[in-house]
Structure 1
């Protein structure tokens, strides 16, 4: 038992140190922990999550080329028009915009262009920017468990199918989208009158008295409405949406009992009959995404070099390395001590299976990746005997990295807010994202649990 605890501390230390360095270091430093466990302690290495990695590569390549085509700019323009048309309701509309952008594209990193616009609209309208900005940043990450092409959803489907819970991407988001929308609206509600109004905030009024600071806050207007969107960019958006529609169509037909996926022999013969099985949805997603990316390059003048240099593709590749290292390290540790964990946690799991949500949340605080949490923790959850519907209900709990405000979207939001109201507090945890993040995750997880009880 002592050795097991020492090795667990090594795993946690690797995750902690990796999260401090961020970016590629998160996956690379996990490799140090893996080397210590395997080469130092002689543990049998687990399996790297190749299926999940392939989906991320395909989806991120498609989204990156969409960005290179200019299609992302069109989506941001549509969102900006909505926000500027209804500025009084920006605390509700801003998180909805960032949420659905992430749902469409599968990554929360598409919202960086929209964040300065949210800050600008709220400031010019006299609304404390912290209110929409805090919840909008949270919403951009919440949308990951609601996107049919996101790593977290794809990972959940792959691992669940391997453990006897037959479910597809559409069935997952049919639970997570309404659950997370309820959570986000609750978060928006508690943010609606959060903090002092700007005209009553002494800190803001003190900054306003400085002419240079006043010019900095009010002198410029953040907008993408003046950016010309080409017909090729719009065409790229339609190709991307068409690819999503194809993926959803395969899932709908599967749910309806008319599975149209190609069938291939398994190599097994039962009672003289050759067995076949349908092509896995993760393979279909990869094929569709790569094909859509190719059409955007050919038909929409999207530059592959520009895509590789873009924020979406680069952040996606960072996620690949992070999931590769983290999931391999976690699988190595858990696989070697599965019997011990099953016996130790058996009573808790039997009586309170939903308590696994606390473990999901805690791990997410450490590793800053919802996909990595799913890949690392879901096999353990299934091995403990927790049923698939329970795990689907608590899936929103894999978002916990708002807790320590070191994630790029949160840091960027603080910098975008020229009013200075969106902050990382003096005591680190008293920051602008804590309240909307906690409310969103708690409400989403409760609603998700209720929904699976109704439908499963």
Structure 2
């Protein structure tokens, strides 16, 4: 196969991803379907397998989280977070990002940010703190935490059989959920704190900001800025909503216990008279537990079923699922076909300098706006190259780079939630509010992650 042809086909792949990104999540999925058809019937690439397990994990987690939202549990979680934030308003630049990070860690999705972001902005404004400082950092933190959540799709892509088998080949004992989280949780949390430290003094103070002063002269903006209050503290939270949260948190505890004690999920299978041990993967465990506890919340908290598909978590999750369906299938088809031809070329460079793979993860994430899809697309490439598994775990935060181009829904929403105009997309597009916080958070997370992985991934 001609190398130039493979490069042209790779450029075609990037072109389809870019075209899909212009239409958003569902657009990414279905336009990738166009690319898949062209790959198979024009370029004659055998189709790879669709990313079924990743999609099922997303469906299960989103279903349970959506039932939690419909039961009022998400509002209760936001109310608890708001009480903490309003008791410590001067620390909003730290506590705002910590709040969004924690919500993502617990829910396995970053889309709860839409509800808490107006509150973060309101607290900052009322304490004369430039809203861009906590709001931009909080948006980045909500996505960074996905690589530290035990129920996120990206973490469970990394716990797939292929990476575990590679780890065994490299002499490792085992690769478990706790191994991964022992690296990604402290690494991303420290990355977030570094970002918050930077954010403390970024930009001009409100009274010196020209855009804020200009908006104060506009009667419409002035009323919006000075007289509005965003709060959930006055909302009544029934006991059933609180119970829904306790049940949901119990599901995470169950998942961690099952990850810790492998014997519980090990079964004997008899095939042709031979007894073998079958260990249920964590991906399957998460699917089962999330569906089970979603049902428990639905029944015990008398949750209205009709509200489940109407919430922001359900809608955002389904869009993400469709996007990953098309993106991962098209990308897997190309790399499965092309890797044998690349082994003597680009792979030799990456094998010589394994850390350079971080740039591949970063670049793909910028284009496709999904950490799980980035991992599903690029991990087979890393596995084929035989890259060290500890390194791959350490640089996992680099699967989040879609802050680079400010078109992700949470970033756009954050800009719209800031009436002062301090959180913005710059004149030159790339000089936006999320760029430097994102680079700091991901960079520090990867550096710390690489070091921790050498300790905990053995």
Category of TM-score, reference length = shorter chain: over 0.9
Question: Which ranges in structure 1 are unaligned for 5 or more consecutive residues?
Answer: none
Q: C-alpha separation between the residues in 2 aligned to 1:58 and 1:202?
A: 47
- The answer for the alignment partner of 2:258 in structure 1 is 250
Seen in structure 2, the aligned counterparts of structure 1 residues 201 and 42 have a Cα distance that, compared at 3 Å, is same
- The answer for the alignment partner of 2:78 in structure 1 is 76
Alignment of 1:137-216 (within 5 A): 137-158=139-160, 159-164=162-167, 166-216=174-224
Q: C-alpha separation between the residues in 2 aligned to 1:357 and 1:266?
A: 43
Q: C-alpha separation between the residues in 2 aligned to 1:314 and 1:274?
A: 44
- Tell me whether 225-234 or 200-209 shows the greater mean CA deviation: 200-209
Q: 1:299 Cα shift?
A: 0.6
- The answer for the alignment partner of 1:265 in structure 2 is 269
- The answer for the alignment partner of 2:10 in structure 1 is 8
* Alignment counterpart, residue 245 of structure 2, candidates 234, 237, 248: 237
User: Does the residue aligned with 1:318 lie in a helix, a strand or coil?
Assistant: helix
- The answer for the alignment partner of 1:318 in structure 2 is 319
User: Does the residue aligned with 1:284 lie in a helix, a strand or coil?
Assistant: helix
- The answer for the alignment partner of 1:107 in structure 2 is 109
- The answer for the alignment partner of 1:44 in structure 2 is 46
- The answer for the alignment partner of 1:290 in structure 2 is 291
Contact 1:107 1:150 in 2 (8 A): yes
Q: 1:140 Cα shift?
A: 0.5
Contact 2:266 2:277 in 1 (8 A): no
Q: 1:370 Cα shift?
A: 0.2
- The answer for the alignment partner of 2:413 in structure 1 is 412
User: Does the residue aligned with 1:25 lie in a helix, a strand or coil?
Assistant: helix
Q: C-alpha separation between the residues in 2 aligned to 1:266 and 1:226?
A: 59
Q: C-alpha separation between the residues in 2 aligned to 1:211 and 1:155?
A: 51
Contact 1:28 1:322 in 2 (8 A): yes
Contact 2:140 2:438 in 1 (8 A): yes
Q: 1:346 Cα shift?
A: 3.5
Q: C-alpha separation between the residues in 2 aligned to 1:88 and 1:38?
A: 57
User: Does the residue aligned with 1:109 lie in a helix, a strand or coil?
Assistant: coil
- The answer for the alignment partner of 1:35 in structure 2 is 37
Q: 1:439 Cα shift?
A: 0.3
Contact 2:211 2:420 in 1 (8 A): no
- The answer for the alignment partner of 2:171 in structure 1 is none
- The answer for the alignment partner of 1:225 in structure 2 is 233
Q: 1:162 Cα shift?
A: 4.9
Q: 1:350 Cα shift?
A: 2.6
Query: CA deviation digits over 1:141-166, x for unaligned, max 9?
Result: 01111111111011111142354454
- Tell me whether 129-138 or 307-316 shows the greater mean CA deviation: 307-316
Count of matched residue pairs: 449
Contact 1:345 1:384 in 2 (8 A): no
Q: C-alpha separation between the residues in 2 aligned to 1:155 and 1:208?
A: 48
Q: C-alpha separation between the residues in 1 aligned to 2:210 and 2:15?
A: 42
TM-score scaled by structure 2?
0.96
Q: C-alpha separation between the residues in 2 aligned to 1:394 and 1:267?
A: 40
Question: Which ranges in structure 2 are unaligned for 5 or more consecutive residues?
Answer: 169-173
Q: Does 1:400 align with 2:401?
A: yes
Q: C-alpha separation between the residues in 1 aligned to 2:287 and 2:211?
A: 51
The alignment's C-alpha RMSD in Å is 1.3
TM-score scaled by structure 1?
0.96
Seen in structure 2, the aligned counterparts of structure 1 residues 98 and 286 have a Cα distance that, compared at 3 Å, is same
- Tell me whether 306-315 or 114-123 shows the greater mean CA deviation: 306-315
Query: CA deviation digits over 1:248-296, x for unaligned, max 9?
Result: 0111223xxxx22141417377xxx522222222111111110000011
Q: C-alpha separation between the residues in 2 aligned to 1:47 and 1:150?
A: 21
- The answer for the alignment partner of 2:58 in structure 1 is 56
Contact 1:116 1:417 in 2 (8 A): yes
Q: 1:409 Cα shift?
A: 0.2
Contact 1:64 1:307 in 2 (8 A): yes
Contact 1:404 1:429 in 2 (8 A): yes
Q: 1:437 Cα shift?
A: 0.3
Contact 1:87 1:121 in 2 (8 A): yes
Query: CA deviation digits over 1:25-64, x for unaligned, max 9?
Result: 1110001111001011111111111111111111110001
Query: CA deviation digits over 1:363-413, x for unaligned, max 9?
Result: 000000000000110011010110211100000000000000000000000
